[in-house]
Every structure is written in structure tokens, then in C-alpha cells.
Structure 1
């Protein structure tokens, strides 16, 4: 969900080539970009990686801006992180208001051959 939140956030920016700082408590998202793991995954066509559909969506919007990621410790009284948690809880209580994650649904419904 953190990666999808970053994608949606970047998609709301209407002007191209904006300087953006994303603060996140997701080491997975922050490290994947800041340590350049995701760019290596591109070279291997995301072989063995989950969420490849989301990472490709992310990279398409990421390239349109100058984006920097900063990791912050979650649940540590960081005002912006606390506000994001409040918003996430409020949205989750509304029910199924988000469009489905097509890539996740396809992966979840893929037959498994044991």
C-alpha cells in the first residue's frame, strides 16, 4: 500500500519536473529507490519481484519529477507520519473506495501448481 500511496501522490502533481520529497516509514519503498534496487530490477524485467506492475507505474511517474525519498521512523510521534496514519485509518473505515490493485488480484488468483 505504501508504494501505491507514493504513486497516487505523485500523480496528483500537475506540473512536470517538480522537486518532491517523499517522507515514508516504509524502508522497502525508500531503500528500493534511494539504494537504486528498483533500477536493477528493471534490467532483470523484475524477475522474481512482487509488485512489478506497481513499480513500473511508479517509475513512469517518478521520471516526470525530481523525487527524493527520506525514511522516517513510523509510530514515533512524527507529525506528518501521524497525520498520514490518521488519514489511512479514516479511509479504511469508509469501505472499499479504492480501485482494485489489478496486479495484486491477478497474482492472488493465479492458480498454484504444487
Structure 2
């Protein structure tokens, strides 16, 4: 029920203001310049990590850096879109680990300690 005294929610304007349009053009220009560099860094971390994995496991460090760089790019893009279009998007946050130490890292990344690595029967109930 609406009455003459009720306050209706403000509707967003569907037309873009000149300032918002200029901001979008500036961000697209910046993405055109910086985007290939970011893509090159991310793909280099992945390929070097896979290439160095057989060499004493050194590639694991690069693969972990690859995962963090993907999170950073996602966080940056979410913040960029939220700032440009004012959508009220929540900021990306890493999930807290359930257990301290390496066991918590494995649990939060989806690796279960009760699952045997070779597909055999589990010793834990």
C-alpha cells in the first residue's frame, strides 16, 4: 500500500552521465594498456610452475604465486566494476582456514586428509 506520505525507493537512472562515460572510457584504455601485461605475468607463472614441477618441486612456489595472482586479478576487477558502476558488490575475501598449519591449508583448498592418495581404502572412519 502506498500513500501520499510514503517514501518510494529511488530508482537508478539508466542513462549514463558524461562523467561516468569518461570514467568507463579511461578504464577501458587503461585495461588495454595494462591487460596484456597482467595476462602475460599470470600465464608465465602458470607455465613456469608446471615446467619446474619435476625439478625438486620448485614449481609449486610458482603455482602458489599463480593462484594468488588469480585472486588479486579477481579482487581488482571486482573493485573496478563496483567503483565504476556503483553496484554495491561485496569485496572478495579469502576463506579462513578451519585448522592451523598445513592441515588447514589442505582442508580449505579442498584436499581431504581422509582420502588416500591412491584411491585405496581410508584408514580413518
TM-score by length of structure 2 reads 0.25
Question: Which structure has the larger Rg over C-alpha atoms?
Answer: 2
Higher strand share: 1
TM-score by length of structure 1 reads 0.26
Higher helix share: 2
Structure with the bigger RCO (C-alpha within 8 Å, sep 6+) is 1
